[in-house]
């Protein structure tokens, strides 16, 4: 893991640094990392035994999720995908594969089928979270929109305890990331080189 001090690395500064690192990735880099991520993630017992997984459609230079989502569906897993609401909360719909996705606002691809409601995520056995970094305690640095903070709060209110898994590139596991009182640790992070458990 890399050494990053929480005292001299604010969340915005650290996000900027990590996004700059990702900006150097090519489409081939992203696709190759996505294939490796899928293999590593599928080795996690939490995903191997899951009946329902809340995932997301990667955008831009995020680690690619398509190979993993396809593999989960091929195993008979019910995959849920987020639908961004105007207030940045998330609704959910079933992943019916690439042909079932529609282009939405902010350049996002979302499921085109029926909406299942924001509470649908509470039925997931595992939740895949986007992120920019995770530290050795399992604290996740997100993009700053707050959508997944709401998801995590909703899970806590419902008493749901799915496996929380962040998909990252190698080099995005850090010694520490800045945290706030509402931040919750994740259970694992998966990178192209392997899975890393925290709690």
Could you list the residues known to form a binding site for substrate, using ranges: 57, 62
Neighbour-count burial of 160, counting CB atoms closer than 10 A to its CB (0-12 exposed, 13-18 middle, 19+ buried): middle
List the one residue out of 118, 134, 140 whose CA is nearest residue 171.
134
* Residue numbering of the annotated binding site: 11-15, 57, 62, 140-148
* Residue numbering of the annotated binding site for ATP: 11-15, 140-148
How does DSSP classify residue 139?
B
Q: What residue ranges in 1-148 does DSSP mark as E strands?
A: 52-54, 78-84, 90-94, 101-103, 109-111, 126-129, 133-135, 140-141
CB 126 within 8 A of CB 69: no
Which tokens is 151 given? 């998801």
Other C-beta atoms lying within 10 Å of the C-beta of residue 194: 12
Q: What residue ranges in the chain does DSSP mark as E strands?
A: 52-54, 78-84, 90-94, 101-103, 109-111, 126-129, 133-135, 140-141, 163-167, 173-174, 188-191, 194-197
């Amino acid at each position: 893991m890399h050494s990053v001090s929480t005292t001299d690395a604010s969340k915005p500064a650290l996000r900027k640094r990590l996004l700059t690192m990702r900006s150097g990735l090519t489409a081939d880099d992203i696709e190759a990392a996505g294939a490796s991520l899928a293999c590593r993630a599928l080795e996690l017992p939490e995903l191997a035994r899951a009946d329902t997984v809340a995932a997301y459609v990667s955008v831009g230079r995020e680690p690619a999720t398509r190979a993993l989502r396809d593999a989960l569906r091929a195993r008979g897993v019910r995959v849920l995908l987020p639908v961004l609401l105007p207030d940045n909360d998330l609704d959910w719909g079933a992943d019916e594969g690439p042909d079932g996705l529609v282009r939405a606002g902010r350049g996002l691809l979302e499921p085109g089928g029926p909406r299942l409601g924001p509470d649908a995520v509470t039925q997931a056995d595992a939740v895949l979270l986007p992120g920019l970094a995770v530290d050795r305690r399992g604290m996740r640095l997100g993009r700053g929109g707050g959508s997944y903070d709401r998801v995590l709060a909703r899970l806590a209110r419902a008493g749901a305890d799915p496996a929380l898994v962040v998909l990252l590139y190698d080099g995005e596991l850090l010694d520490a990331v800045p945290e706030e009182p509402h931040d919750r640790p994740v259970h694992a992070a998966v990178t192209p080189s392997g899975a890393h458990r925290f709690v």
